[in-house]
């Protein structure tokens, strides 16, 4: 099936879009290796390139032409088999392992314009005001929109040493806005928050599966066990995946000896099963796993293992549907290929990968259009792909993990005022504004109770409304603020609270009381009957 023109780019920028649940078996390509079948077919490409180099009428970039030929060939395969030039390969291999110096975003290029996919919490771009959906039109004075700018060129333009400045100009719903961003080191931590919700229930937010995930998770869960945790809310929403072995290690913590975690199988790969060894320290902890349309790859492997073994309850919305095993093949020039060699299957036999149809790249948008995000009844379920859990519960394949408890997106509090603030990143810039003026006091505050008390003395609500009107010219119409403040103020409190000693955890603590998925998980404590 031909791949749609939908390329995921990681701009060093501090995070990898981790839909590469990669089997970490890397090899260097041997030029002398023979291919099966008609050898003349394989010689054809090489002969054409040789003839072009020797006889073409004009000077050409042979390296670029060769890369383009490889990209075109891989485009005939699945959407995730990709060629990575040296710069991108280096970045993809290091971003899940350590610190970087960059601006802290991920973006994709569906056509000829880079679109911001995510902004690293607390990173340089978030502080400056960039938001998801921004279209990058210029980097400093270099126009990159509509120019078919090479991917590695975009990366080079945006990266740079800590303390250096770059101006990123974006198109946000028709409005062109420049943002001056001070580059910084981007820490690659995978756990955003870990704390007790109540006397018995812990909460862990995992953003990605990095090389340090198991270590960080073990430390966090041990801390929570010491505080009395018998139930865990494990938040994998918007977790796009990462290292496969880390997903295995985490699932092993919850499963009994011999329980299937996942298996992989391909045309040229014999079935390989991965089972728990029974030595996990969380086998008696009730678990509810939170997922959504942004949960992919390793997140889906973990959720599928928990669901199919009837070990816990899956809460949220249908996951992304990325379940391909990709083998890294590295070349001596520093470039490489990520080649799909097998598919992941949950213990019941479900294939995690969704079909590669012509609308693959726009599947998420179609979910919104179909109503799936607001109603479980609108979900397209392949009833022919019927499987059964250990206890005989029905589960369905066809792509992604379907939750046991569906939680719709709440759009009731989304007013014109809220959308206007979102368009101009007013809340994020306001948080930075408060920090700049009250950083000394914020630095002294170490829990949410202290933050709440301090915000009341500041009059944070009225401060925000004044800022929105004065700086961005945005005022709520009659009744709009009363409707939206229930949704916006916890966000604002959390965004400002990030600048205190509470750190990233502040956002989750403030937002949790209005989080419908958390409420649903608390009402479904992870026991499957």
The backbone torsions φ and ψ at residue 205, rounded to the nearest 5 degrees and listed phi first, read -105, 115
CB 161 within 8 A of CB 17: no
d(CA 283, CA 279): 9
Pick the catalytic residue from 297, 335, 484, 500: 297
Tokens for 432, please give them.
């930075």
Q: In angstroms, rounded to a whole number, what is the distance separating the alpha carbons of residues 386 and 384?
A: 6
Query: How many CB atoms are closer than 10 A to CB 511?
Result: 16
Whether 297 sits among the annotated catalytic residues: the reply is yes
Q: Which two tokens stand for residue 337?
A: 């290929």
Question: Of 127, 322, 423, 424, which one is the catalytic site residue?
Answer: 322
Secondary element (H or E) of residue 193: strand 191-196
SS3 state of residue 327: strand
Q: Choosing from 134, 184, 308, 515, which is the catalytic residue?
A: 308
Look-up: residue for tokens 């009837």?
310
* Segment holding 235, helix H or strand E: strand 231-235
- CA dist., res. 405 & res. 422, Å (int): 29
Q: Which tokens is 40 given?
A: 């003349």
Q: Please list, in sequence order, all residues whose beta carbon lies within 8 angstroms of the beta carbon of residue 256, skipping any fewer than 6 positions away.
A: 276, 278, 283
363 catalytic residue (yes or no): no
Is residue 237 within 8 A of residue 291, CB to CB? The reply is yes
Task: Count the neighbouring beta carbons within 10 Å of the beta carbon of residue 489.
Answer: 18
Q: Is 319 a catalytic residue?
A: no
End-to-end distance of the chain based on CA atoms, in angstroms?
A: 41
Sequence-distant (6+) residues with CB within 8 A of 405 are 313, 314, 315, 316, 520, 521, 524
- Residues designated catalytic: 297, 308, 322
């Amino acid at each position: 099936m031909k791949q749609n023109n939908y390329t995921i780019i990681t701009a060093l920028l501090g995070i990898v879009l981790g839909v590469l649940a990669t089997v970490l078996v890397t090899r260097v390509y041997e030029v002398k290796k023979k291919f099966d079948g008609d050898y003349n077919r394989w010689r054809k490409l090489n002969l054409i390139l040789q003839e072009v180099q020797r006889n073409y009428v004009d000077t050409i970039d042979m390296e670029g032409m060769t890369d383009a030929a490889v990209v075109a060939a891989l485009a005939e395969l699945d959407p995730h088999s990709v060629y990575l030039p040296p710069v991108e390969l280096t970045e993809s291999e290091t971003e899940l392992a350590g610190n970087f110096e960059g601006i802290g975003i991920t973006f994709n290029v569906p056509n000829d314009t880079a679109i911001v996919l995510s902004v690293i919490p607390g990173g340089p771009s978030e502080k400056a005001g960039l938001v998801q959906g921004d279209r990058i039109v210029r980097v400093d004075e270099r126009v990159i929109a509509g120019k078919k700018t090479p991917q590695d060129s975009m990366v080079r333009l945006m990266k740079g040493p800590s303390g250096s400045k770059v101006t990123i100009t974006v198109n946000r719903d028709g409005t062109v806005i420049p943002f001056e961003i001070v580059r910084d080191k981007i820490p690659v931590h995978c756990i955003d928050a870990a704390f007790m919700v109540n006397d018995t229930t812990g909460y862990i937010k995992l953003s990605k599966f990095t090389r340090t995930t198991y270590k960080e998770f073990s430390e966090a869960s041990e801390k929570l066990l010491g505080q009395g945790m018998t139930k865990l809310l494990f938040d994998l929403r918007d977790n796009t995946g990462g290292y496969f072995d880390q997903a295995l290690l985490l699932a092993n913590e919850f499963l009994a000896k011999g329980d299937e975690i996942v298996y992989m199988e391909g045309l040229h790969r014999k079935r390989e099963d991965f089972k728990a060894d029974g030595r996990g320290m969380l086998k008696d902890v009730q678990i509810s796993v939170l997922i959504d349309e942004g949960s992919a790859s390793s997140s889906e492997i973990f959720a599928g293992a928990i669901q199919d073994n009837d070990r816990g309850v899956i809460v949220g919305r249908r996951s992304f549907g990325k379940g391909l095993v990709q083998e890294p093949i590295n070349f001596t020039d520093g470039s490489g290929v990520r080649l799909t060699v097998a598919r992941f299957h949950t213990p019941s036999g479900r294939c995690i990968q969704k079909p590669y149809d012509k609308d693959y790249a726009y599947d998420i948008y179609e979910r919104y259009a179909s109503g799936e995000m607001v109603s479980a009844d609108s979900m397209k379920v392949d009833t022919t792909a019927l499987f059964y859990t250990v206890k005989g519960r029905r589960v369905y394949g066809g792509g992604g993990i379907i939750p046991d408890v569906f939680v719709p997106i709440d759009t009731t509090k989304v007013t014109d005022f809220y959308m206007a603030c979102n368009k101009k990143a007013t809340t994020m810039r306001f948080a930075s504004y408060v920090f700049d003026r009250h950083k000394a006091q914020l630095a002294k505050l170490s829990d949410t109770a202290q933050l709440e008390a301090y915000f009341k003395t500041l009059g944070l609500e009225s401060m925000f409304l004044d800022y929105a009107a004065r700086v961005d010219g945005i005022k709520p119409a009659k009744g709009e603020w009363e409707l939206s403040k229930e949704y916006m103020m916890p966000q604002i409190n959390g965004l400002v609270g990030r600048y205190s000693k509470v750190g990233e955890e502040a956002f989750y603590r403030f937002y949790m009381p209005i989080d419908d998925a958390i409420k649903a998980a608390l009402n479904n404590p992870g026991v499957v009957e």
